[in-house]
Structure 1
Amino acid sequence: REFLKHLISFEDILPALMAAKEYDPSTQQIIYDEELFDDNSGNWIRDVEPPFDPTPSYLEAHESYLSDFSAYQVPETGFIVLSFDHVSPNFAYNFLSLIISEINKWMMQKDLDESSKALAYLNDQASKTNLTNMNSSISNLIESNLETQMRARSNDDYALSIIDPPFTPELKSKPSRKLILILGTLIGGLLSLLLVMINHYFIKKKYLHI
């Protein structure tokens, strides 16, 4: 949740997650739900009851985020596949790129902070002890933390190395037109059958009472 809280601090992320209604391919712009978000003023106008606010909380955004974000590991290769579904293919591409970039920065900064604290402690301990064996162990730990700092500062793809970069799809991934057509035909057929059965039942009942 904290990571998403960080992500929605970026401009236009929260409205796109919580108020996107349609996508205009001709302008490549997101069309927002006018009952939720005023795109002209940039203000949230949704009508909600307390304890909720017009501006969605990061906890609300987290639910929407989880419903559209997918991550799984390929057992054969160990590769992690990330995907994000959205009405706007451009936003999906940009948001997924942002996720990857910020994960790398987030993990890099976390390891830098931890290794810096460890180095400060180890250097302090090294100055207080004269035992050869202890100094050797401390030196090894210092070397390990220095390597961590070197890797973090020299590699942008610190946590996730991109094998196949995000791309903007040319076609919608959903809803499936074929599936809609099949379901529509099936439902239409069932309704027709139901009407025939009802009609037959009432006609039969009418003749039985004559």
Structure 2
Amino acid sequence: MTQQVQQHQAYPPAYFEQAAEDEIDLRELFAVIWRGKWLIIACTAVFAIGAVIFAINQPNIYRANALLAASNQESNKLSGMASQFGGLASLAGINLNAGGGTDQTTLAIEVLQSRQFFKEFLDKYQMKADLMAAKEWNPITGELSYDLQTYDAQAKQWVREVKAPKQPEPSMQESHEVFTKEVLSVATDKETGLVTIAAEHISPMVAQQWVNWLVKDINQVMQQRSQQETLANINYLKEQLEKTSVAQMQTVFYQLIEEQTKTLMLAEANDDFVFKIIDPAVVAEQKVKPKRALICVLGTLLGGMLGVMVVLVRHFAKGGDNA
């Protein structure tokens, strides 16, 4: 007890006065807030009305998605060939594992998001206006309307005003950035290996159509790539067959050509070359965003907190009650 008294006596009286002044008086704080209640209410009301207006003006966004399973027939065939004939084929300078180090599903997903694929996709379906200028969707007629300051639908001309190097008509790179960041999403389930391809748009019909087109086109592109590679392999094997006179190597070449021909036939007959559709995309009935109620709540809370902060800052900036 004596030690505590000595410790208190070690501090001058001014120290305790300063500490008392530094303490926050909750009653004073609430009193300040109560005196500024009308400013807080006004600020909250302005932000709440602004949030409501903003939420109402946001168009509904719909999402269509397709659940896909990977087709691994080609990779399994190639791996079997490589294990069976890889040693002998390497003697002739043939690498059966070429391209086999990359999983076909992973490769297809990367191709799907590539600029080259998107350019061909954009040119094929002429969807730039729906992507870059769509403003509203009429659920009764199913028709899209476009931003008049961006695109003239009747004249089919781009009229937006932009600064160089941008042009009135969006470039492929600009369209690709919007498509990959705001429209397309690809997700892979690590446990099951299933792939989900989804697209978002103000029109649920457009979103569903785009997903179906994407699945069909990526299968076609990967199928064509495989056919070209397989044909190149067959031609190369035939050339090597003509150059060798070793009976054992000729047997290997004949077997390799046979397997490559089977692979080519399977590729030509299989439309679901990379992805098999488990659950196709449908026209969505419910929007995925915007979440208008959440926008209104957050806007109201932000307005209230801003109002309280303004009242407190103004009070303490004037030195409190002594101002």
Q: Which has the larger radius of gyration?
A: 2
Range moving further from structure 2, 34-43 or 71-80: 34-43
Q: Determine if the alignment matches structure 1 residue 132 to structure 2 residue 250.
A: no
Which consecutive unaligned segments of at least 5 residues does structure 1 have? none
Between the aligned residues of both structures, percent identity stands at 35
Counterpart-to-counterpart distance in 2, 1:146 and 1:179: 59
Q: Determine if the alignment matches structure 1 residue 48 to structure 2 residue 170.
A: no
**Residue 208 of structure 1, CA deviation:** 3.7
Counterpart-to-counterpart distance in 2, 1:175 and 1:208: 48
Larger RCO (CA within 8 A; separation ≥ 6): 2
User: TM-score scaled to structure 1, two decimals?
Assistant: 0.88
Decide which of 214, 217, 221 is 1:102's aligned counterpart. Answer: 217
Decide which of 156, 180, 194 is 2:295's aligned counterpart. Answer: 180
Cα deviation digits, residues 121-154 of structure 1 (max 9, x gap): 2122223322112112212321232122112111
Runs of 4+ in 1 over 3 A off after TM superposition: 194-205
Decide which of 123, 126, 136 is 1:9's aligned counterpart. Answer: 123
Range moving further from structure 2, 123-132 or 55-64: 123-132
Counterpart-to-counterpart distance in 2, 1:33 and 1:202: 47
* Pair 1:137–1:176, CA change in 2 (3 A): same
Q: Determine if the alignment matches structure 1 residue 62 to structure 2 residue 176.
A: yes
Counterpart-to-counterpart distance in 2, 1:160 and 1:128: 39
Counterpart-to-counterpart distance in 2, 1:170 and 1:5: 30
* Pair 1:204–1:51, CA change in 2 (3 A): closer
User: TM-score scaled to structure 2, two decimals?
Assistant: 0.59
Q: Secondary structure at the match of 2:137?
A: strand
Q: What residue number does 1:31 align with? A: 145
Cα deviation digits, residues 18-45 of structure 1 (max 9, x gap): 1122222222122211121111121112
Q: Determine if the alignment matches structure 1 residue 154 to structure 2 residue 275.
A: no
Counterpart-to-counterpart distance in 2, 1:35 and 1:88: 20
**Residue 192 of structure 1, CA deviation:** 4.0
Q: What residue number does 1:86 align with? A: 201
Q: What residue number does 1:18 align with? A: 132
**Residue 94 of structure 1, CA deviation:** 0.5
**Residue 195 of structure 1, CA deviation:** 5.3
The structure whose residues are more often helix, as a share, is 2
Q: Could you say what the CA RMSD is over the residues aligned between the two structures, in angstroms?
A: 2.2
Range moving further from structure 2, 134-143 or 184-193: 184-193
* Pair 1:12–1:32, CA change in 2 (3 A): farther
Range moving further from structure 2, 31-40 or 122-131: 122-131
Counterpart-to-counterpart distance in 1, 2:259 and 2:150: 51
User: What number of residue pairs does the alignment pair up?
Assistant: 208
Counterpart-to-counterpart distance in 2, 1:20 and 1:152: 38
Counterpart-to-counterpart distance in 2, 1:116 and 1:83: 33
